[in-house]
Each structure stands twice: as structure tokens, then as C-alpha cells.
Structure 1
Amino acid sequence: MNYPIVFYPKVVMQFCHQYPLPEATSSCATSSQLQETQQFGKPVVLLTPPQPPVVLPVKLLWLIWVSWLYGAIAFPLIAISWGWLWWEMLLVVAAYSCLIAAAYSYVFGCRQKMLSRYKQQVLEYNQQNILSQQEILSQQKRLSQQETLSNKQQEFSSFKLGKEGLQTVFTSVKIDLQHRNRLLKDLMSLRVSPNGTSQARQGVSEQRFLQYLQQYFEEVVQAAEFKIPLSQRSYSADFTVIHTPSGLGIDVEIDEPYAGKSKKPTHCCDADSDMRRNQLFLEWNWIVVRFTEKQVVQAPLSCCKFVAMAIAEVTGDRSYLKQLETEPDLLSVKPWTTREARAMAKTNYRLTYLPGFGVGSACDRVSKF
């Protein structure tokens, strides 16, 4: 998994599955597509009945036994004319009978399998046909309702009808989103809140990024502290972003490859410290978004756009995303291993992108748990 990384809590994914976003919240949806979606819904798949298999008729199966009967009579006569002993004649007739029985069993078995498969296909076709008919009836019902509504609206002028009809669509979508966000806010009341502010020193890159976050998002808190259960230690979130209408909370983290003073590798993909931390925040019902330090320094607006996309994916609120839609998408970055982090520390890799952001302060940043 490359940076930027986003993790969604289980309760949020279940909520999105139970309450999917309206189609109109998609940025690619046009007014005609919205009307088509509302009128017709999902397309009905027309099923074709299964074709009956080509099998040997039952009457022809008797030809096998008829041929056996003629053979059973002919072989003894031939054996007598050739002067065979009785037991030789008996062995020949027995072998011939076994061959005929095996042939009949094979042909009859294949025939029964093909017929059984065909019966199963017919049964499945009938069941699917019933479901399709129910779907057609439901769509016809929706169409009749739409036609009734359309007849009532014909008393308005065509221009006003088109304009107000589109406004009605988006108004209904807005009402649906408001109701959905209220339900999500009730669910997010179970989200664990921070118990204070961390006193850990923050780097200059974080101070600069805080200004960008505060420019586009309403509730942004830096260095929020969370108490670890059954421990005297705490986790410090780089930033927490709250979507006020839904109460959705996002933990935004900035990952550097090594500590400024000690050069100790941090946030390595082959270590499990971040995995434990992510899991705990997910259990606390926080979305976790992780950027690299270089991404935040070199493309802060694209990072803000990624956070806005995470909010839109869950809540359908694209107001933040519209402010950043002209910004390019954030380029993905491969995570580093402990060995790679040590190599970057030896070459002072962080100095290649931090000079403009105050190297001394940024590299003196205190690594958090």
C-alpha cells in the first residue's frame, strides 16, 4: 500500500453499505443521467431459456438389448458349427454380455446426467425469470408514479419545468444527505475524543501544513492527545479534522523516514508500531490518513484535496473538494523499509526537501509513539 494511505473504521464501512450515497452526489453525474437513474433504476437483464440437450431417445436404447439378443443367439450357433466346447461357448457369450451391459450403462448414465443438468438449468431460469418479472413490475410502478408526477408538472412552462425539476432533484438529494449525516453523527457520538493537547515539539512542516488545513477545513486541531487504554502512555495525532455536519473524524499523520536527531528509522513498513496505532484509532472510530513528510512539504494542497476526497467518499459533502478540484491528485509514494530508512538517514535525505521549511526546527522534531 503506497502513500497516501487511508483507513476507514469498520462502523463507517458498515454505515456506508447500509446507507449508500445518492447517485446525484457523484461529480460525474449530469442532469440527464440523474433523471434516467431516477426513472429507470437498474437495468433489467433479459434471460434466455436454456436449450434442451441432444440425447439418445429411449426407444433407441432398446437397440442395444436387441443387438445383444441377436448376438447371444448367433454366438452359440457359430461356436457349435466350429466345434467349440460348451464352456468356451459360455465364456464368449458372457464376455459379449458384459460388453453390451457396459455400453448400455455408459450411454444411459450420460443421458441421465444431461437431462438432470437441463432440469436444474430450467429451475434456475424459472427462479430468475420470476425475480426479473418482479423487477419489471416494480419499475413499471415507478414509471407510472413518474408519469403522474410529470402530468402534474405540465401546467408549468417548459423552461420553468426544466429548471425547477433539476432543482427538485438536488433539493431531495440535499435532504437525503442531511438525514444521512444526522444518522452518521449519532453513530460518531461513539467516537473517542482526545483528552488534551500533546506537549511534543512540532516540526516546521507541520506548522505550515496546519495553515493549509485551517484554510479549507473548519475544525482542525494539532497535536491532540489520546490516552492509550491500560497504559500510562498516550498517542499524539499530528492533526485531527472534524466534519461538523456528520461528526466524522479524521486523524491526519505525517510520516518521516527517520528521526531528526537520533537518525532512528521511523514509520517503516516492516515494523508493526504504526499498525498497532492505526488499529487503535480505527477502534476509536477515527479515519486514519497518512502522508509522507515530503508529500506535505511539496504538495500541501494536493494533500488537502485527498482529505476532502475522504470526506466526500463517506458523507457526500463535496464542498471542500470543489475548492480544490483544480489541484492535481497526489502522486503515490512507496513506503520504506527499516534498511531503506537507515540508508536515507546516512545521506540526510530529509534535507533534500526541507531547506525551505527550516531545516533545524524540522529535523529537531520529536518522534511520537
Structure 2
Amino acid sequence: MAKLLVSGGLILGSVALIESVAFWPAVFMVGLAGFSIGMLFGSSGDNSKAPDAKSRPRPGKWEKKLRQAIKNDLVVRGGISIELLERSKSMKIEKSKYPYLPDIALKVLNNNISDYVCLYIDVEVDEPWTLDKNGNKMPIHTIDDNKQKSRDSFFREKNWIVIRFSEQQVYYETDKCVNLIHDLIICIFQLNDSLLKSTYPSPQKRWSWQEAVKIERP
């Protein structure tokens, strides 16, 4: 059965997943210990909660690049269909008027199963910093960012998978980012190993608050 080895010791196969938090790419999903397809979806179909809100998206430059690459190149053979959702699709948060908006949302269907299995994937492009109203660099997506951790946990609780790439990985290795998404889908639906692309973005250490502002953005 297909297995996927990613930076920082992340291993995904038919029975196990070890979460990597120290490097990009990072993948977050349910059932980190003793993961199986049954644990993710249950005994019948569509257990990944569908988007239930709309937001006004403000896509980043490299997010647009990855979105276009996914649209052009992400094709999974073996009875899998992939829908690239419109940018406004988002998830309601209890007691908050602002929903969570995925950078890129994918709906994946396995047409090989009589009770079809539907999976949603949130693909994120993480920048090291943004500018405040005074033009000062403000670190974001840091390794110790509790808001980001809460966000990832929220999607996991809804049975989504969250894949995080750094901005640099998307800029320099766009095709390899698409390969990783492709192979993750292959592994989750336990398709044939021969379909794997097996080339992924170079690992990048997740930055601290202090390190973020020193990074040159592409």
C-alpha cells in the first residue's frame, strides 16, 4: 500500500501518521496514532463537513500561483475526482461573525466506493510576515502561533485535512507542492503505489517570531 515520506518525519500510509510541526510542508489531520481510512470517514460516505459560509477572499500572490497549478496539473487517476472550490467558500465558527477561509479548498471524491467518500482539503500558503499600517513587518504563521494551531484543530475536528506550504516552497517548487497533494490523496484512498509522483518540496524549518522578520520574501 502507498506510503508517503515528507520532511520532518511525517509518514502517511494506510495505518499510520506522525504529525510534523517543525518543518514545512506540514500536514494536519484526524487520527494521528493508528490512523486508518475508516477512522477518517467512518463506515459510510461523506463525513468531511462541507463549507457552510461565504467570505470575501483576499488571495495572496503565490496562493494564486499554486491555485492555478492545482487547476492545471492536479489529476489523480484511479476513480478520484477533484473539485477546486470557489475562493469564497469558508467555515462558520461558533460565536464568531468571522468564518475561517481556506487559502485553497479542494473537494475530493472517491468514485470507486458505492457509498461515495468525500474529503475536503485546506491548502495553506504561509508567509513569514506582513506589513502593518505603518509599514512595519509583523511576523505571521510562526511555529508558536496559537491562533494558527486553533485554526488547524478546527478543520481537523470537521474531518478536513490541512496542508501547509511555505511561501518559498510555492514560489520555487510549485510543481512539487502539487505532487505532494496528489500523493497524499493516493495514500489516503489506498490506491496503487505506481501512481505516486514521489518528488516533494525541499524541507523548510518553521520560523520563530524573531526569525520571521529576517526572511526575504519572493
2:14 is matched with which residue? Answer: none
- Report deviation, 1:11: 9.3
Aligned equivalent of 1:202, options 59, 66, 84 = 59
2:8 is matched with which residue? Answer: none
Q: Is 1:281 aligned to residue 122 of structure 2?
A: no
Say whether the 8 Å CA contact 1:196–1:225 is kept in structure 2.
Answer: yes
Return the letter of the residue paired with 2:190: G
- Report deviation, 1:212: 0.9
Q: Is 1:296 aligned to residue 170 of structure 2?
A: yes
Structure number having the greater strand percentage: 2
Larger Rg: 1
C-alpha separation in 1, matches of 2:192 and 2:107: 15
Say whether the 8 Å CA contact 2:53–2:99 is kept in structure 1.
Answer: no
1:248 is matched with which residue? Answer: 119
- Please give the secondary structure, in 2, of the residue aligned with 1:232: coil
- Please give the secondary structure, in 1, of the residue aligned with 2:89: strand
Say whether the 8 Å CA contact 2:41–2:47 is kept in structure 1.
Answer: no
What TM-score do you get using the length of structure 1 for normalisation?
0.44
Return the letter of the residue paired with 2:156: L
2:142 is matched with which residue? Answer: 268
| Percent of aligned pairs with the same amino acid | 27
2:84 is matched with which residue? Answer: 220
Say whether the 8 Å CA contact 2:28–2:161 is kept in structure 1.
Answer: yes
- Please give the secondary structure, in 2, of the residue aligned with 1:211: helix
- The CA RMSD over aligned residues, in Å, is 2.7
Aligned equivalent of 1:234, options 83, 86, 99 = 99
Structure number having the greater helix percentage: 1
C-alpha separation in 2, matches of 1:219 and 1:11: 26
Q: Is 1:331 aligned to residue 202 of structure 2?
A: yes
Work out which structure has the larger RCO, using CA pairs closer than 8 Å and 6 or more positions apart in sequence.
2
What TM-score do you get using the length of structure 2 for normalisation?
0.72
Structure 2: unaligned runs, 5 residues or longer? 1-21, 76-81, 111-116
1:340 is matched with which residue? Answer: 211
1:306 is matched with which residue? Answer: 180
- Measured against aligned partners, the alpha-carbon deviations of 1:32-74 in whole angstroms (never above 9, x if no partner) come to xxxxxxxxxxxxxxxxxxxxxxxxxxxxxxxxxxxxxxxxxxx
C-alpha separation in 2, matches of 1:236 and 1:12: 28
C-alpha separation in 2, matches of 1:220 and 1:185: 24
Residues 1:4 and 1:268: Cα distance change in structure 2 (over 3 Å):
same
C-alpha separation in 1, matches of 2:41 and 2:144: 35
C-alpha separation in 2, matches of 1:187 and 1:15: 14
C-alpha separation in 2, matches of 1:204 and 1:280: 26
Say whether the 8 Å CA contact 2:46–2:119 is kept in structure 1.
Answer: no
- Report deviation, 1:225: 1.2
